[in-house]
Amino acid sequence: MKTSYLFYFLLFSFSIISKAQEVPEVDQDRLEKTIHTLAKYGMKENGETNRVAFSDADLQGRAYIISLMQISGLEVSVDYAGNIIGKRAGKDPGLKPIGFGSHIDMVPDGGNYDGCVGSLAAIEVIRTLNEAGIKTEHPLEIFIFSNEEGGVMGSRAIVGELLDDALSVVNSTGYSMREGINRLGGNADRIWQVEREEGSLTAFLELHIEQGGILDREEIDIGVVEGIVGIKWWDVNIKGFANHAGTTPMALRKDALIAASKFVLAVNEVTNSYEGNQVGTVGRIEAFPGAPNVIPGEVQLSLEIRDLSSAKIEKLFEGIKSRAKAIEEETGTSFSFTPIDATSAPALTDERIQKIISEAAAEMGLSSMQMQSGAGHDAQDMARITPVGMIFVPSVDGISHSPKEFTSPEDMANGANVLLRTILKLDQSWF
């Protein structure tokens, strides 16, 4: 009995190992080549690339992406929000698709890896499956989202959160979202038709460079994202009293800029008073009337708080408001806080998908760690309608939104291979 049990146990273990070894790997050189080719669309004389959404360079880059998807045998379309969608049939048409992808648009004078790694890795996964003759049970659907950097436009449309007032927002190209959607081949008048129902996808995965430098510093191969932080913004107005800078005694001043300075320090102190990875930032400040010989009578500044917990964001805000009240009494000024609507709620990734990503990395002998994303992503919106997972790969020195951002070919391939294995594991376990 013991011998027979051992035999079947070894046979079962060998079967698992054999199946793991049968998983194909992406073509690292081909993936790197597509990254470099995409970077040519919008490249300037200094060798840096500028490919903001709706620009001519964006249109050219999208045409290149569509050509790669078509070469890969995908059924390609552009939806009414300007998203590029590539579909691959599965063995069972009754199953909901597994979605994955990212974006290719940039911030002005950004880098060649943010979004692009996830988009081109998604296409590389399809090409690898084709070459290995693997047809998944589930249909597969690639999403190349439109205008991610300008307000996650494409993914917001898919989950029904792109409201009419957002369509009038103009980016650095001079085009509004409405004009840009039409320029990309969408139809802003019918954008409501792209909304997907909750549960219409089996899952959604996004591979992305890690923008905080933790993986690079810790020399970890793969980041398993446990959640994307929520972001809340406020405009803060501080009223003092403008007066002559030469004749008003220091003790009699109501200096709004002094109050603002104390407030900036208070934001830092309150944010650091809690354990965790929360962040609080004053990123913009302007004093009025702005003359060297006038005591500032008014200051306008911004407040941003990010965390995985909405409750903690609210707790931090209440703490900051309490400190502002004390500063009012100390300086003779008054504070007002106006919420800005362009905020996002925290989005936790699915714990089951986190586990699958970790297992996929371990099978390849790659190190991994759980981490949060301090930046927003399309996956944050997709979490409204389906379970999501995010895979991070290192960006050297944590540099992002910069021409100097760089992810090595090895790290890109590692991420693409983990994405591939995760898709195959989801395909076999989620019905």
Distance CA 19, CA 12 (A): 11
Is residue 333 in some structural domain? yes
Two structure tokens written together for 174: 């001079």
Residue 20 is predicted with a pLDDT of 44
* Closest CA relative to residue 55, chosen from 37, 68, 43: 43
Distance CA 375, CA 302 (A): 18
| Domain co-membership, 157 together with 303 | no
The model's confidence at residue 124, banded by pLDDT at 50, 70 and 90, is very high
Is residue 11 in some structural domain? no
| Domain co-membership, 148 together with 76 | yes
169-186 tens-digit pLDDT: 999 999 999 999 999 999
CATH number for 45: 3.40.630.10
Out of 300, 317, 344, a domain closes at 344
11-29 tens-digit pLDDT: 444 444 344 448 999 999 9
| Domain co-membership, 407 together with 332 | no
192-236 tens-digit pLDDT: 999 999 999 999 999 999 998 999 999 999 999 999 998 899 999
318-365 tens-digit pLDDT: 999 999 999 999 999 999 999 986 567 889 999 999 999 999 999 999
Domain tally, the chain: 2
Q: Report pTM.
A: 0.85
Two structure tokens written together for 328: 């009012």
Out of 302, 327, 344, a domain closes at 344
CB distance 158 to 384 below 8 Å: no
63-93 tens-digit pLDDT: 999 999 999 999 999 999 999 999 999 999 9
Two structure tokens written together for 206: 């996004």
Is residue 18 in some structural domain? no
| Domain co-membership, 319 together with 399 | no
Residue 66 is predicted with a pLDDT of 98
Phi-psi category of 303—alpha, beta or left, where left has phi over 0 and alpha has psi -120 to 50?
beta
The model's confidence at residue 151, banded by pLDDT at 50, 70 and 90, is confident
360-411 tens-digit pLDDT: 999 999 999 999 998 889 999 999 999 999 999 999 999 999 999 999 999 9
CB distance 222 to 411 below 8 Å: no
CB distance 282 to 267 below 8 Å: yes
Distance CA 239, CA 288 (A): 10
Q: What is the mean pLDDT of residues 243-255?
A: 97
* Non-local CB neighbours of 33 within 8 Å, separated by 6+ positions: none
251 pLDDT above the threshold of 70: yes
- Lookup result for tokens 């690079």: 216
Is residue 279 in some structural domain? yes
**How many helices (H) and strands (E) would you count in the chain?**
12, 14
Share of the chain above pLDDT 90, in %: 89
CATH number for 282: 3.30.70.360
Annotate 289-334 with DSSP letters as a single string.
S--TTB---EEEEEEEEEES-HHHHHHHHHHHHHHHHHHHHHHT-E
430 pLDDT above the threshold of 90: no
Distance CA 301, CA 5 (A): 71
Distance CA 297, CA 243 (A): 7
Two structure tokens written together for 347: 């989005």
Query: In this structure, is the dihedral angle defined by the CA atoms of residues 351, 352, 353 and 355, taken in order, positive or negative?
Result: positive
| Domain co-membership, 334 together with 410 | no
Q: What is the mean pLDDT of the chain?
A: 93
CB distance 58 to 42 below 8 Å: yes
Is residue 5 in some structural domain? no
| Domain co-membership, 37 together with 133 | yes
Residue 119 is predicted with a pLDDT of 98
Is residue 1 in some structural domain? no
Q: Provide the 10 A C-beta neighbour count for residue 203.
A: 24
| Domain co-membership, 337 together with 350 | no
| Domain co-membership, 110 together with 218 | yes
Length of the chain: 431
Residue 431 is predicted with a pLDDT of 59
Residue 376 is predicted with a pLDDT of 86
| Domain co-membership, 54 together with 162 | yes
* Closest CA relative to residue 103, chosen from 114, 92, 89: 114
Is residue 6 in some structural domain? no
Q: What is the mean pLDDT of residues 104-122?
A: 97
Out of 292, 323, 344, a domain closes at 344
Is residue 14 in some structural domain? no
Residue 341 is predicted with a pLDDT of 64
Range of the domain at 366: 23-228+346-429
| Domain co-membership, 44 together with 183 | yes
CB distance 287 to 299 below 8 Å: yes
| Domain co-membership, 339 together with 351 | no
Share of the chain above pLDDT 70, in %: 94
| Domain co-membership, 147 together with 216 | yes
CA angle 339–343–345, rounded 5-degree value = 120
Distance CA 271, CA 335 (A): 19
Distance CA 121, CA 104 (A): 12
